[in-house]
Amino acid sequence: MRGLTTTNKKLGDNKKIINQAMLTEIPNIKEASPTLGELSKDSKKLSDSELDTLLDDFSEKWEKENEIETTSPLAELSKDCEILSDSELDTLLDDIQGSLDYYHEGLISNKEEGLRREAEVEEDLKKKYPESDGYEIVNEAYLRDSEGKIVKDPETGTARRIDFVVVKDGQVVDSIEVTSETADKTEQTAKENRIREAGGNYIKTADGSLANFPENIYTQIERRK
């Protein structure tokens, strides 16, 4: 019976259907509105105005009988809320904004520090594995299968992207994940192992070719300040 008053505006020639539906869904319709109960036996007796009037009458009585809550949830909740003065509200909003600023600054700081560490490690890798000797350093390399498709962890449904993978002659010779001195990488390492077991033993190089991870090569965690 929800939306009954709104629905009856669209009745038109469907009065008989509506009356029958009402009688079916609300067994005590005759008790709530005897007039509507009698007229609904024969919908031809109802004009549009009569139907509107009777539906409104029935809807009102039915709501009272069934104690339908017409007050919005927000209005109910606000009854127990303390009303803040303008100064108190300004103070509260300032505190919230301060917390958001602190959180945002922390995120930016962590990101900047992460980029700094990665840049340092990349420079060290370039010295250790010079391009002139046939090495290629691949950044942000996804683990893929033999067809080049990204393999996802069967447990979490997510992929694994490694910070730096060193390749030579189509083979991976080193794999490095850069992180802080205190970050816990246990879950990440476990995820990589599951992906490797699921066939994710390749990465894609700059020219689009695939390089294979030998069984004895796994990602090393490089911790930096």
pLDDT digits (tens, 9 = 90+) for 64-99: 665 555 556 666 666 666 676 777 777 777 777 776
The angle at the Cα of 34, spanning 31 to 40, to the nearest 5 degrees, equals: 115
Could you read off the pLDDT of 153-198 as tens digits, one per residue?
Answer: 999 999 999 999 999 999 999 999 999 988 899 999 999 999 999 9
Residues present in the chain in total: 225
217 vs 49 pLDDT, higher one: 217
> Please, what is the average pLDDT of the chain?
77
Statement: residue 35 has pLDDT above 70? no
pLDDT band at 219 (very low <50, low <70, confident <90, very high): very high
pLDDT band at 218 (very low <50, low <70, confident <90, very high): very high
Looking at residue 183, what is its pLDDT?
87
Looking at residue 191, what is its pLDDT?
96
Statement: residue 139 has pLDDT above 60? yes
Distance CA 180, CA 85 (A): 46
For residues 161 and 140, the answer to whether their CB atoms sit within 8 Å is yes
Could you read off the pLDDT of 195-209 as tens digits, one per residue?
Answer: 999 999 999 999 999
Looking at residue 101, what is its pLDDT?
66
Looking at residue 103, what is its pLDDT?
59
Rg of the chain taking only CA atoms, in angstroms: 35
224 vs 143 pLDDT, higher one: 143
Query: What is the pTM assigned to this prediction?
Result: 0.53
Mean pLDDT of 3-10: 43
Please report, rounded to a whole number, the percentage of residues in the chain having pLDDT higher than 70.
58
